[in-house]
Structure formats: C-alpha cells, structure tokens
Amino acid sequence: MAQIFHRAANTLAKATLYGIVLLIAAICIIAWEVNNSYNVYLGEHQVQPVPFSHKHHVTDDGIDCRYCHTSVETSSFAGIPPTHTCMSCHSKIWVNSPMLEPVRESYLTDQSITWVRVNELPDFVYFNHSIHIAKGIGCTTCHGPIGDMPITYRANTLYMRWCINCHKHPWRYVRPKQYVFSATYKPPPDQDALGRKLVKEYHIQSPRIITDCYTCHR
C-alpha cells in the first residue's frame, strides 16, 4: 500500500507540536507578567485624601525625608507624618488653601488623616528600613523618583524575586551613605567598581540574606 503521509510530514507534525507548546508557554509568561504588574498597581497614582506632592515638598522646598519620615533610620518602619508635622508649616503658609481643608479639619478634630498605603508587603514578610539605610541603599533605589512625584506611586513590584535580585547583587545598587536620602542621586558610570568597594567598606554580607528564608519570613 502506498504511504499516505510522506516521511517529512512526521517531522513537520513534530515541529508544529513543539511550536504550539512554545507559543502557549510564551502567552502564559506574557499574561503572567501583565497580571503581576496590574496586581500591584505599578506606577498608578492612588487617590489620597489630600493631594500631597513630594515634588513640591522635596524638590521645590528642599525638605529632608527625615523631617516627615522620622523613624526611617532607627526602626523597621519609615513612618507617615502626623498632622501636626504638616501644621508646623501650614498654620503659617497656605492657610486658606482649599486643598489643605482636610489637614485643618484633622488638626481641629484630632482625627488622623487616612492616607492610602502605596507600598505594602503581605503580613508574612519581614522588612526593615533601618538596616537598608545603614548599609547605603538609597530611598529612590526602592521607591523610584519620589522627588518627581506630584502624587506618590509605587515604582517597584516588591516581589520576592525583586528583593532577592538585590540581595544577590548588592554592588549594583549600593551608594555612598551621604546620598541615601538624596532624591536626585544618579549612579556613576563605574557603579560596579564603586559598588564592590562599598560592599567591602559597609560589610554587606549577601550569601546569608539570599539563602536563609528566615531573614524575611520569621
């Protein structure tokens, strides 16, 4: 009996099958990435009770992060400023601004402003600001160009693989400590060389913070 299919058809069928499998895999990966970035509202502005602008306060007025985020160097939390911090200036300037009405009301009624959280980890993850600050990791490395933000948004996923990526290659991100709070710092062209020097100088120990799950899940 004559062959119904030519021998080459076999190869063709195989190739098509592999092709389909690869295509499906590619679609899944793309869908997953898209889904991931939607899940965390990457780059999307939150609607806040007061349209607080880091661009105004940090870049135009030159106020240091620690004036408002007072515990960032000393504790795990950076802290969100209480209303009286705002009123230290806004009882004197822009006192009639309608945008500041919720701030004045909060001050008079003693009810704190309910800011919408922008960066938040699940409860089963342990994070600590002070250690990162002490080891020369800048605010903008994790929080993006905060000094350009009229409304605060999340710049990074905060996924586990994002944390681990830096814990594996800290020399790519570390900066001289005097620039940790700078909103305008740009890494130099020789970041790798500088970074490797700083990793030694600041005694950054990466192996433990990659392999030990207890570091972040305790």
177 sits near ligand HEC (criterion: CB under 6 A)? no
Q: Is 85 in the site for ligand HEC (CB under 6 A)?
A: yes
Residue from 40, 42, 45, 63 binding ligand HEC (CB under 6 A): 63
- Give the Cα separation of 118 and 82 in Å (integer): 17
Residue 155: which of 183, 135, 132 has the closest Cα? 183
175 interacts with ligand HEC by CB under 6 A: no
Q: Which CB atom, from 123 or from 190, has the smaller least distance to ligand HEC?
A: 123
Q: Which of 79, 104, 177, 187 binds ligand HEC (CB under 6 A)?
A: 79
Around Cβ 156, how many Cβ atoms within 10 Å? Answer: 15
Tokens of 6: 């030519």
- 40, 45, 70, 90: which one contacts ligand HEC (CB under 6 A)? 90
Q: Is 155 in the site for ligand HEC (CB under 6 A)?
A: no
Unique residue bearing structure tokens 């889904």:
35
Q: Identify the CA nearest to 58 among candidates 132, 134, 152, 129.
A: 152
Amino acid at 210: I
Q: Is 100 in the site for ligand HEC (CB under 6 A)?
A: yes
Asked if 205 interacts with ligand HEC (CB under 6 A), we say: yes
45 binds ligand HEC (CB under 6 A): no
The first and second tokens of residue 102, run together, are 């919720």
Give Cα 53 distance to the centre of its chain: 17
Number of residues in contact with ligand HEC under rule CB under 6 A = 75
- Tokens representing 52 are 């607080």
Is 40 among the residues that bind ligand HEC (CB under 6 A)?
Answer: no
